[in-house]
Structure 1
Amino acid sequence: MPRWLLALATGALVFYTDDYVIAGVLPEIARSLDVSEGTAGQLVTVFSMTVAVAAPLAAVATARLPRRTVLVAAALVFTAANLGAAFSPSFPALMALRVAAALSAAAATPALFATAARLAAPGRTGRAVAAVAFGVTGAIAFGVPAGAWIGGAFGWRATFALMAAAGALVALAFATALPRAAGEQNALPVRDQIAVLARPAISMGLAANVVLMFGSMMLLTYLAPFTAALADADVTDRGVLFAVSGLAGMVGIWAGGRATDAWGPDRTLAAGVGAFVATMAALVALWPLRPVPVVLLLGIVTVWGGAAFWNSPAVQARLHLLAGPVATQALALNTSGTYIGVAVGGGVGGAVLDAAGPGPLPTVAGAAGLVALGLFVTAARLHHAGTDQGMPETIRK
């Protein structure tokens, strides 16, 4: 792996770890700052919502700046915000610093993916994007437990101090490993940027990602009650299922990146979304047979986890291919869409669970997958049919 790609992947790991890392120390934060655990939990919510709202705005605002400059500046702000959080005297101050850290992540996230795609060698875009996405997944698999352990052993303030130190190292890595003009280009006027992003091949793909994330993350959010009802899964069983899903997801990201380079993003997405829909159909078929052995779910969860993350490199590479000089802005909108899809999935899944129990969850998720597949296929056909005529030559492929 080239040094610049290692720096980008590590940056993704650090920025995304900061989103989730305090989940493991929320009780300690609540006690220390004299708030309820529910109130402390809003530190996670405000981070996610800030990234969702700010990512596309930051992409437009920084469009004329070199990606290297954006990434170094974002890492420095991130470092300062976490260092301040480590010494925060009150909950409102900590909340404000979380917003500052989220704004830095919002500016960095699309730049990470766009820079990886632009610096990748011909035919290796999917693998470069997959490496950055692998850092995102690693945040959940490795970064969050490490942060929780640090917080448990040395106090919650040490968790933020750890993130500040990691941010400083990432800033140094960006400054030394990225080419000085990494991703630098002349920015289109804002009106032209919006016109490009509104093209059906791009806008429908963005909508498809929202729907796909809604479906795939909805069932993951409520996997515990669903598997308890389907297979009498206890806490240990659910831990195994989550672990299998996470490991399969990490393999799926890398395999999806290689498939994107070999097959192209459209075929890769068709295979990945199709596999996801098939796993939801399998869960629907098993529901009348409950309780089923937990071991029967392992294979389904493995395919499901792999398919869910398999799609990420293809989605990112597709947007980079189609959006050209506004690729960073398209990827920022995709970041927002991912957060929105996760949030909507949690809300809709909770409503379904309260109204009808866990049984209908895979049906709703599978239907969302079919809608997403239809949107992706339609967007691909519109592009190949020539509906992108009139776009800048750098965008039309």
Structure 2
Amino acid sequence: MPAWLFALLAAAFVLYTDDYVIAGILPELANDLAVSEGQAGQLVTVFSVTVAIAAPVAAVALARIPRRWLFAVALLVFIAANIAAAATPSFTVLMLLRVAAALAAASTTPALFAFAARHAPAEKVGRFIAIVSLGVTGSIAAGVPVGTWIGGAFGWRATFAAMAITGSIVLVFVLTTLPRSEGPDETPVLREQVRTLRKLPISLGLLANCVLMTGSMMMLTYLAPYLASATTAGVEERALAFSLSGIAGILGIWLGGIATDRWGADRTLLFGIGAIVASMLALWALWASRPASLPLVLVVATVWGGMAFWNSPAIQARLHHLAGSVSGQALALNTSGTYLGVSIGAAVGGLILSGVGPGGLPLIAAGFAVAALLLLALARRTTQERRS
């Protein structure tokens, strides 16, 4: 594995940590800036919404800029935004700085995966994407807890300062390892980019990812209420469930990348989504027979956590192969779909929790997974028909 691949992993790690770490320092931040925790939570919302909207626009507008320069400038903006965030006394200014950091993330994150896929050997595309994806799971498993601890020990401003320092280290890592020569620019004109991205197999794949993320994040967002109602789990056991799911996610991404290279994206997704459906049905059955065995619920939830991340390399490798020279733009749209799925999942899950109760969550999540599987099957059939 080339050194630049781990530089991309580090960049993904710091960018995603910066998005999620706000959740861990909300009480301290809200108290210091004299706002409610609900208002402070909008810092997460504005970051996610900005990335969802800006990622595809940035991918098209910045398509011809060399990736080395793109990553360097975006990381400089990211570092400056976090330094300013650590010093600002105004919540309004902090909100604007979060938008600036989100714009840096939106222009960089999809390009990290596209660069890895483009420069990977043909037989290792899935594994190269999986390596970069480890930055995402790593941010949840390690980045957010460390950032939260820093905020608790030294104040929330120290967390932003730490993000700026980490971003500076990543910038040096990227500049010293990324190849200077990227080959000829094969980006087509805007009309051809749009024409490629509108092809049905790509559109269906993007929709399938959004639907799949909706179901997965709906269950993850409200996993604690499910555990509380289905088992006798306390706070410590619920924390253990999230930890096990995060660890399984790291393993799942790597194994999903290997499977993508060996089986192909379609078979990998069939296995991964099928396992998610089975896990959700098992969680529903356990809830129906409550109080359920806590160890058994933890095992099923851990398998589900691993499979939820297993699909990521396959989805992105599939889009990369279908989109060709505009794979960066396709992956940017996929990033938008992911953030949109997270938002919809939280909203739909809240309605289900209020109306039906926790037992409805796994069943509805399974329904979303089946819908994603059907969309991918239709996309595959359309691709075969086009080739014929």
How does the TM-score come out when normalised to structure 1? 0.95
| C-alpha distance 364-32 of structure 1, shift in aligned 2 (>3 A) | same
Deviates more, 1:20-29 or 1:175-184: 175-184
Give the corresponding residue for 2:378: 378
Separation in 1 of the partners of 2:362 and 2:288?
Answer: 13
Asked whether the equivalents of residues 67 and 184 of structure 1 are also in contact (C-alpha less than 8 Å), the reply is no
- Structure 1 residue 262 and structure 2 residue 262: aligned? yes
**For 1:269-280, what aligned pairs fall within 5 Å after superposition?**
269-280=269-280
**Secondary structure, counterpart of 1:187 in structure 2:** coil
CA distance in 1, matches of 2:191, 2:110: 20
Provide the C-alpha distance between the structure 2 equivalents of 1:50 and 1:247, rounded to a whole number of angstroms. Answer: 28
The whole-number CA distance in structure 2 between the counterparts of 1:218 and 1:181 is: 43
- Alignment: residue pair count: 388
For residues 96-135 of structure 1, what are the structure 2 equivalents within 5 Å? 96-135=96-135
How far does the alpha carbon of each residue in 1:322-371 deviate from its partner, in whole angstroms, 9 at most, with x for none? 10111000000000000000110100010011111111111100010000
Q: Is the 8 A contact 2:211 2:371 kept in 1?
A: yes
- Work out the CA distance in 2 between the residues paired with 1:363 and 1:160: 39
1:138 paired residue number: 138
Moved over 4 A (4+): none
What aligned pairs does 1:51-200 form with structure 2 within 5 A after superposition? Answer: 51-182=51-182, 185-200=185-200
Q: Between 341-350 and 284-293, report the one with greater CA deviation.
A: 284-293
Q: Deviations over 1:266-300 (max 9, x none)?
A: 11001100100011111222232111110111221
Report if aligned partners of 1:54, 1:106 keep a CA contact under 8 Å in 2: yes
**1:68–1:180: 8 Å Cα contact kept in structure 2?**
yes
Identify the residue that residue 392 of structure 1 maps to in structure 2: none
Counterpart AA for 1:174: V
Question: Aligned equivalents of 2:48 and 2:286: distance in 1?
Answer: 34
List alignment gaps of at least 5 residues for structure 1.
390-397
Match of 1:5 in 2: 5
- Matching residue of 1:336: 336
Find out whether 1:358 has 2:358 as its counterpart. yes
State the distance in 1 between where 2:210 and 2:120 align: 26
Whole-angstrom distance in 2 between the partners of 1:348 and 1:267: 29
Asked if 1 retains the 8 angstrom alpha-carbon contact of 2:27 and 2:37, the reply is yes
Deviation at 1:183, TM superposition (A): 7.2
Q: CA deviation at 1:184?
A: 5.9
Aligned AA for 2:343?
A: A
CA distance in 2, matches of 1:58, 1:73: 13
**What displacement does 1:225 show?**
0.8
Gaps of 5+ in 2: none
The aligned residue for residue 252 of structure 2 is 252
Q: Which residue of 2 aligns with 1:42?
A: 42
1:92-124 Cα distance to aligned partner (Å, 9 max, x none): 111111100000000000110001111112211
1:238-289 CA-to-partner distances (Å, cap 9, x unmatched) read 1111111111111000000000010111110011001000111112222321
Separation in 2, partners of 1:184, 1:31: 52
- Match of 1:123, SS state, is helix
The whole-number CA distance in structure 2 between the counterparts of 1:359 and 1:50 is 33
Q: CA deviation at 1:189?
A: 1.7
User: In structure 2, what residue type is equivalent to 1:217?
Assistant: M
Return the TM-score normalized by structure 2. 0.98
Task: Report the alpha carbon displacement of residue 378 of structure 1 after superposing the two structures with TM.
Answer: 1.3
Greater Cα shift, 273-282 or 229-238: 229-238
Q: Is the 8 A contact 2:286 2:297 kept in 1?
A: no
Q: 2:368 is aligned with what amino acid?
A: A
Deviates more, 1:20-29 or 1:176-185: 176-185
Give how far 1:208 is off.
0.2
